[in-house]
Structure 1
């Protein structure tokens, strides 16, 4: 991908490839809004400006297909964050909250990654899915932040709307934190997040991303714990 960008004169480091693609897309959107051509040789990644506001384009005309974003027939690859084998620093808050859930479920004082074999298959799969969900949501957050001037604000609206959809479920009484976690995750998948324009972009926000938003809310401190709710 870096070599391909280089063919068009973009000087991009390997770690910048995802951001560069998003920003090049933003410039294409801006040029189209001004009635200009899509000639990427006229673009300059180094002097990149923020993209157009989401409210100034038709979100319903944007469709996500896997890791591709289609805008009026233009296919752009978006940066899908891969789930690393090791827990990344940015995950620590929501991972700690999940570890608390497992510790309570196993009646242990603490739980660490070394204790993962103690979980049954269902709980191990649950943990794997939650990491996948988190990174799927983060990928969307980063992409819209880089592509659109108001992308960061629209994702914040999405998070706020998600919390308002799950807060009653979260505060209910449960036998343990694992039950609370799963009840909230089930609830968020059936919650319509209509306040954000992002929800109008076809296939951008699916069930996996909705679950991932719950873990971003943990990282943000909106959800402090799945276990120690009333402490």
Structure 2
């Protein structure tokens, strides 16, 4: 197991407010015994006892993600100060649900992990094994940077423990594979033909709110500012969701199945809110948009860290509107 894989699993289930570079340092703080000699105490007082503590956050983040290798000399210092009891206590301090999640994820890579039935000590032993492998040259701590997929190949496996989206480079990272994801799509100035359905639903919601029988695209400029602002935001949301929808369909085997699962489970999540009673369609739209940002699905989309945010989740409602599943104005109201 790579250090970055191990660190990422613990970070995901650590249930703390640390940033990744802070969590990186906490791992090494906890695998090392407390300072003992006068020299070590002085190093600690100057925040230098942890051999990685002098590095800037960006460098620490690269080590955490595995894009840069851990320095063998620093690793050796950590090993010389190891304290398995301290690290075991640290891990066993996580809540029970998170401990089970950590064990389950590591076992997908190491089936006989935690044969001693003590997660803290099993993690301590694994951490030290990783560090020893790095120090002795048996394993690199950084993933080999390569894109192993040809333009015609698609992903067929989804290792949850190693898959994440990095906004800084715009790539999906899966172990040692980097996949470029389409850049964010800017809504064109003119409404595209594929936008007609969800845009019609938005216009119907605005018309319902202002007690107008019907509104067309040409009427948008005459609407109050809050509706114009909302319309602009919804187009951004739509194109954010389209970007993810295209990525799923083009990059994964059975991509259409994953894309449809994302939409269908989103609909299951919002439908009770959607079908509630409202004074007008605009209030329904706003309420559903507030609801959907908390949505999480079992599709591959929700398994990829950092890939989907509020804009993409809101935009999924417009994909559903294009499919005919979502309508903002209930004709029976």
TM-score when normalising by structure 1 = 0.73
Q: Does 1:227 align with 2:315?
A: no
Q: Matched residues in 2 for 1:67 and 1:174: separation?
A: 43
Aligned partner of 2:82 in structure 1 is none
Q: Does 1:157 align with 2:261?
A: yes
1:83 counterpart SS class: coil
Q: RCO (CA 8 Å, sep 6+): is it higher in 1 or 2?
A: 1
Task: Please give the residue correspondences for 1:74-113 in structure 2 after superposition, counting only pairs within 5 Å.
Answer: 75-79=178-182, 80-113=184-217
How many correspondences in the alignment? 188
Aligned partner of 1:198 in structure 2 is 301
CA displacement, residues 140-179 of structure 1 (integer Å, 9 cap, x when unaligned): 1101211111222112111111111110001111000000
Superposition CA RMSD, Å = 2.4
Aligned partner of 2:163 in structure 1 is 61
Instruction: Name the CA shift for 1:120/1:61 in 2 (closer, same or farther; >3 Å).
Output: same
Aligned partner of 1:185 in structure 2 is 289
Instruction: Name the CA shift for 1:67/1:184 in 2 (closer, same or farther; >3 Å).
Output: farther
Instruction: Name the CA shift for 1:127/1:51 in 2 (closer, same or farther; >3 Å).
Output: same
CA displacement, residues 2-21 of structure 1 (integer Å, 9 cap, x when unaligned): xxxxxxxxxxxxxxxxxxxx
Q: Matched residues in 1 for 2:213 and 2:223: separation?
A: 15
What displacement does 1:58 show? 3.5
Aligned partner of 2:65 in structure 1 is none
Instruction: Name the CA shift for 1:54/1:81 in 2 (closer, same or farther; >3 Å).
Output: farther
What displacement does 1:203 show? 1.3
Q: Does 1:174 align with 2:282?
A: no
Instruction: Name the CA shift for 1:89/1:54 in 2 (closer, same or farther; >3 Å).
Output: farther
Instruction: Name the CA shift for 1:197/1:106 in 2 (closer, same or farther; >3 Å).
Output: same
Given that 2:146 and 2:177 are in contact with CA atoms closer than 8 Å, whether structure 1 keeps it comes out as: no
Instruction: Name the CA shift for 1:59/1:162 in 2 (closer, same or farther; >3 Å).
Output: farther
Aligned partner of 1:13 in structure 2 is none
Aligned partner of 2:54 in structure 1 is none
Given that 2:145 and 2:176 are in contact with CA atoms closer than 8 Å, whether structure 1 keeps it comes out as: no
Q: Matched residues in 1 for 2:241 and 2:212: separation?
A: 31
2:308 counterpart SS class: coil
Q: Matched residues in 2 for 1:82 and 1:176: separation?
A: 30
What displacement does 1:204 show? 1.0
Aligned partner of 2:221 in structure 1 is 117
TM-score when normalising by structure 2 = 0.52
Instruction: Name the CA shift for 1:66/1:127 in 2 (closer, same or farther; >3 Å).
Output: farther
Q: Matched residues in 2 for 1:135 and 1:149: separation?
A: 23
Instruction: Name the CA shift for 1:178/1:154 in 2 (closer, same or farther; >3 Å).
Output: same
Instruction: Name the CA shift for 1:39/1:61 in 2 (closer, same or farther; >3 Å).
Output: closer
2:271 counterpart SS class: helix
Aligned partner of 1:213 in structure 2 is 316
CA displacement, residues 66-91 of structure 1 (integer Å, 9 cap, x when unaligned): 67123146554422322111111111
Instruction: Name the CA shift for 1:60/1:122 in 2 (closer, same or farther; >3 Å).
Output: farther
